[in-house]
Amino acid sequence: MHIICTTLNAKYIHTNLAIRYLKAYAQPEFDVELVEYTIKDPVLNIVTDLYRRKPDVIGFSCYIWNIEQTIEVIQLLKKVHPTVTIVVGGPEVSYDVAYWLERVPEFDYIVIGEGEETFKQLLTALERGEDVANIAGIAYHQNGKAVINPQRNKINLANMPSPFRFPEDIPHLSKRVTYVETSRGCPFSCQFCLSSIEVGVRYFDREKIKEDLRYLMKHGAKVIKFVDRTFNISRSYAMDMFQFLIDEHVPGVVFQFEITADIMRPEVIQFLNEQAPPGLFRFEIGVQSTNDEVNKLVMRKQNFEKLTRTVTMVKQGGKIAQHLDLIAGLPEEDYTSFRKTFNDVFALRPEELQLGFLKMLRGTGLRHKANEYGYVFMDRAPYEILRNNVLSFDDIIRLKQVEDVLEKYWNDHRMDETIEYIVTHLFDTPFDFFQSFGTYWDEQGWARIGHQLEDLFRRLYSFLQTIDTDDLPIVEALMKYDYLRNQKQKPRKPWWDEKTDKHMRTYVYEQLMKEPHLLSLTEKELFKHTVVEMIPFDLPHYLQTKHIRHCNMAMIVYFNQTTMKAETYFLEVDTN
């Protein structure tokens, strides 16, 4: 019996942990072939590839991001290979099972919930031609009627085999994200999240996890992401794993964790700030809302003061990048309340701030209470909300505009000094900048076309010209600084029109030649590998103090051909 486990990942760099657990658990009785695609692959290409492999059974791992394309693949596959047995599982099909059986008759079996043992029992029954009626945790059609068997008891995770020891995975470890789980379940009850449905937290064998991590690092894994819903729920467990990773990591590997920030003790952060190498760890923190009443409605416990302490301490340590999440559209959080949430969190200046929109996931408590809050949402995945009783679709559109420019201008770190000055000096709050610029961006039609790096600078400058400010020369200088310092080579055509005349450039070069301690280059190298721009204030003083001292300053950016990095120098110029 030829068995394939497959999925459609959101991106090529992602890997699917679930199908690897299914393969590991099915061994040695069954040899499962793993095949992965992406949601961007043409459906017919996927169908053709699967058909050519001549499978008897195909298991699909289903999520909100791939379910619709997965259904298309299955329906076409059944047309060309009607005898293939289709098994689906995963969080998207584990709830409203009767709905899925009715909507997609091509589903032969649905595996509900934790699937390793259920899938193996199903394969055994199919191979032997036995009745599946006594297999817990499956759903199927029988004589035109839906049969939904009760879910099975949870697996003992301590006995789970490793999902990482497959030779075919080794060539891809350095190029893709490797997902690891050390626990299943979540101690919290957030009503918008599927993790709240499973009560309690269960742990895998700690020493086996460490052996897996050693194996992955030895064979080239570069990005290892822990998918535990709250990695630090057990302080002793987290500390042991942090210490292990600090002691045994391979240089160049990055470990990512989802943590609950308000329960992290200061002494843990101090330990990480002192002991962790820079760049080894990355934290993802779900904030969602800073409105206490909103959090109560979704049964979310959060102490924002303690969360702020954690994020601030980590940031001050300078070693761990942080990604913070917000959710727009939670119950009773209107546009004004969300504006405050955004500003509360942006004040922490996380390296990344993601603005997401509430998704009414099947099986969640909030979906069951959708009518109570007037939710209108997409009928099919990803079930994103369109409006509710306090947030109109117009509000949603406006927040989407914020999301668009936030991603491009804050999270991508193309112009950090520029954006910091703008949100601090030109607008009442950071949210007001992102909203004003996002609306302008949308009105210009830029959301519908692509962009080069230079376009991002030109478009921001175009927007700034529409607001009433005397600070435009300062912002322009900061934009030039941000643009040039992030280049590897002298740009052929920068985003701005050249304003520094040749006589001034020649004068600056002459001054540099007289002061070789500042920048020791030949005249030819100066002209070939540097850019000179005149700016109206002392930029080095500003970068150090955040105060503006007006003067005539030459900014000289040298593009070092050895290091392939930009080096910035400044020279105060007397133009009299």
Q: Could you give the C-alpha distances from 316 to 168, 260, 270, 285, 308, in angstroms and in order?
A: 42, 18, 10, 16, 12
**The tokens 């052996």 sit on which residue?**
211
Side-chain-side CA neighbours of residue 46 (13 Å): 25
Instruction: Give residue 503's pLDDT.
Output: 81
Give the number of other Cβ atoms within 10 Å of residue 466's Cβ. 10
pLDDT of residue 200 exceeding 70: yes
> Could you give the angle at the alpha carbon of 298 between the alpha carbons of 315 and 199, nearest 5°?
90
Alpha carbon distance 494, 5 (integer Å): 49
Mean pLDDT of 252-279: 97
Cα torsion 34, 36, 42, 43: sign: positive
Q: How many CB atoms neighbour CB 283 within 10 A?
A: 23
Is the model's pLDDT at 575 over the cut of 70?
no
Strand arrangement of the beta sheet that strand 57-61 belongs to: 32-38, 3-9, 57-61, 85-89, 109-111, 138-142, 145-148
Q: Which two tokens stand for residue 418?
A: 């520029």
* Overall fold of domain 157-389: TIM Barrel (3.20.20)
**205-211 mean pLDDT:** 97
Distances (CA, A) of 352 to 283, 327, 413: 10, 14, 9
Q: Look at residue 312 and give its three-state secondary structure.
A: helix
Q: Where are the domains of the chain?
A: 3-149, 157-389, 392-469, 483-572
Measure CA 135 to chain center. 37
- Which helix (H) or strand (E) segment is 341 a member of? helix 335-346
Q: How many CA atoms lie within 13 A of 396 on its CB side?
A: 19
| pLDDT for res 511 | 81
Eight-class DSSP state of 255: E
What percentage of residues in the chain have a pLDDT greater than 70? 99
Model confidence at 507, in pLDDT bands (50, 70, 90)?
confident
Say what percent of the chain tops pLDDT 90.
Answer: 91
Whether the per-residue pLDDT at 199 is higher than 80: the answer is: no
Closest CA to 256 of 423, 13, 551, 469: 13
The per-residue pLDDT for range 408-454, each reduced to its tens digit, is 999 999 999 999 999 999 999 999 999 999 999 999 999 999 899 99
Look at residues 479, 334, 328 and name the one whose alpha carbon lies nearest to residue 401: 328
Q: What is the mean pLDDT of residues 237-253?
A: 97
pLDDT digits (tens, 9 = 90+) for 83-126: 999 999 999 999 999 999 999 999 999 999 999 999 999 999 99
The pLDDT value given to residue 520:
75
Distance CA 400, CA 389 (A): 18
Structure tokens at 565: 């990095």
| Cβ-Cβ contacts under 8 Å for 362 (sequence gap 6 or more) | 92, 95, 96, 383
Local confidence band at 14 (pLDDT 50, 70, 90 cut-offs): very high
d(CA 474, CA 538): 10
Residue 236 vs residues 231, 242, 274, 309: alpha-carbon distances, Å? 11, 10, 18, 20
Mean pLDDT of the chain: 95
Average pLDDT over residues 374-400: 98
Q: What angle do CA 352, 491, 568 make, to 5 degrees?
A: 70
pLDDT at 533: 93
> What are phi and psi for residue 286, nearest 5 degrees?
-85, 110
Query: Mutual orientation of helices 335-346 and 393-406 as an angle, nearest 10°?
Result: 20
Q: Between helices 304-317 and 266-275, what is the axis angle to 10°?
A: 10
Pair of tokens at residue 434 = 């992102």
Measured between alpha carbons, how far is 321 from 351 in angstroms, rounded to an integer?
6
Radius of gyration of the chain (CA): 28
pLDDT-derived band at 496 (thresholds 50, 70, 90) equals very high
Residue 231 is given by DSSP the state T
- pLDDT-derived band at 576, boundaries 50, 70, 90: low
Helix axes 472-485, 453-464, angle to 10 degrees: 170
Architecture of domain 3-149: 3-Layer(aba) Sandwich (3.40)
Residue 388: CB atoms within 10 A of its CB come to: 24
Q: Which of 483, 416, 415, 486 is nearest to 454 (CA)?
A: 483
Per DSSP bridges, beta strands 321-328 and 200-203 are unpaired
Q: Rounded mean pLDDT of 343-356? A: 98
The answer to whether 390 and 334 have CB atoms below 8 angstroms apart is yes
Distance separating alpha carbons of residues 264 and 348, to the nearest angstrom: 17
User: What pLDDT shows up at residue 61?
Assistant: 98
Confidence check: pLDDT of 498 > 80 = no
Entry pTM: 0.95
Q: Mean of the pLDDT values across residues 207-229? A: 97
Is the model's pLDDT at 545 over the cut of 80? yes
Give the number of C-alpha atoms closer than 13 A to the C-alpha of residue 79, restricted to the C-beta side. Answer: 9
Q: How far apart are CA 370 and CA 367, in angstroms?
A: 5
Contact 110, 139 (CB under 8 A): yes
Tokens representing 32? 């499962």
Residue whose pair of structure tokens reads 């914020």 in the numeric block: 402
Instruction: Name the token pair of 476.
Output: 């322009």
Using CB atoms within 10 Å of the CB of residue 326, give its burial: 0 to 12 exposed, 13 to 18 middle, 19+ buried: buried
Better pLDDT: 199 or 220: 220
